[in-house]
Chains A and B, each alone.
Chain A
Amino acid sequence: MGYMIAAYVISVGSVAAYASYLALERARLRKQLDETGSDPSSS
């Protein structure tokens, strides 16, 4: 049971962590672009 749970926690957790990283990176870049000028895609 422990091995099975570990496999699922690692898989789902890693995908969630990567998706969170992309969301944070996107927000950081949008903020950076907003500070340096108008961002055509923000509308």
Chain B
Amino acid sequence: MNVPSAPGRRLTAGLFYTVLAAWAFAVWSAPIDSVQGVIQKILYVHPPLAFGAYLGFFCTALFGGLYLWKGDDRWDRWSLSSAEVGVLLCTLMLLTGPIWAKGTWGKWWSWDTRLTITLLQYLVYLAYLLLRGFTEGSERTARFGAVYAIAGVVLIPLNYFAIEMAAGRAIHPENLGDGSLGAGMGMPFLLGIVVVLSAFAYLVVRRYEVACLRDEAARREVEATGSEGAWAT
């Protein structure tokens, strides 16, 4: 198997570091919220992390579906890479959220609809990674993982519309809409989304490259020893 050099690594890295610098300046110079104070600036990292996690889980399902359709191992590697980065971003969302909650609600956690579904979604994709990590790696595992990822993607719209479904019983703030942000808050928020999405692209490409190299190392080991099982993504 030819180990491809991951496409776009330098481009995604350059974009990420450029936008990161602009974002840091925008967050620093953003106005202080008159109600919450400086802790409100967590807004510029927490929802963008949520969007990044959603994107990661969506890509896991999308690439998993392409793997089932085409049967090409590369789609399985993209799927696994997206899942790992998605879980990382979801972990950070689940860490920054309680920090913000402690500063504003006075408690770290609430079994609110949005928070509960987010935790469930996190555990679903964490289980996906455990499944992939604890099994030897085979076509059967990849196929099962793809079906599992596609089934799990239903939690994304469920999570997004959780507050509307809670019909006024949710403690988590509503999804942002037109006019939700005060003057001077739109740009740092937008840059936060671009930073997280470019970080997602950069990390997924790098993780994909590692997956290719691991598979190639496993393939060579099989050739050397004559044993079975050449997947190690």
Contacts of B216 in A (CB 8 A): 29, 33, 39
Q: Is the CB of B92 within 8 A of A41?
A: no
**Interface residues of B, dominant DSSP:** helix
> Closest residue of chain B to A32, judged by CB?
B217
Question: Quick one: given A4-B42, A23-B206, are A11 and B213 in contact (CB under 8 Å)?
Answer: no
Q: How many residues of A contact B (CB 8 A)?
A: 25
Chain A binding surface, main DSSP class: helix
Distance in Å from the Cβ of B129 to the closest Cβ of chain A?
13
What is the chain B residue whose CB lies nearest that of A3?
B103
Task: Kindly provide the distance from the CB of A23 to the nearest chain B CB, expressed in whole angstroms.
Answer: 7
Most chain A CB within 10 A, of B41, B99, B209, is at B99
B residues sitting closer than 8 Å to A (CB atoms) are 2-5, 27, 38-39, 41-42, 45-46, 49, 88, 91-92, 95-96, 99-100, 102-103, 199, 202-203, 206-207, 209-210, 212-214, 216-217, 220, 224
Most buried by B among A1, A7, A10: A7
Query: With a CB–CB cut-off of 8 A, which chain A residues contact B46?
Result: 7
A15/B88 contact (C-beta < 8 A), A6-B99, A40-B2 known = yes
Q: What are 11 A-B contacts defined by CB distance under 8 Å? A: A3-B99, A4-B41, A7-B45, A10-B99, A11-B45, A11-B92, A29-B216, A33-B3, A39-B216, A40-B2, A41-B3
Contact A37 B220 (CB under 8 A): yes
Given A7-B45, A32-B217, A40-B2, 9 more pairs with CB closer than 8 A:
A4-B42, A7-B95, A10-B92, A19-B202, A19-B203, A25-B210, A26-B210, A33-B3, A36-B224
A29 in contact with B210 (CB, 8 Å): yes
Asked whether, in the complex, the Cβ of A33 is within 8 Å of the Cβ of B217, the reply is: yes
| Contacts known (A3-B102, A22-B210, A41-B2); A36 close to B38, Cβ less than 8 A | no
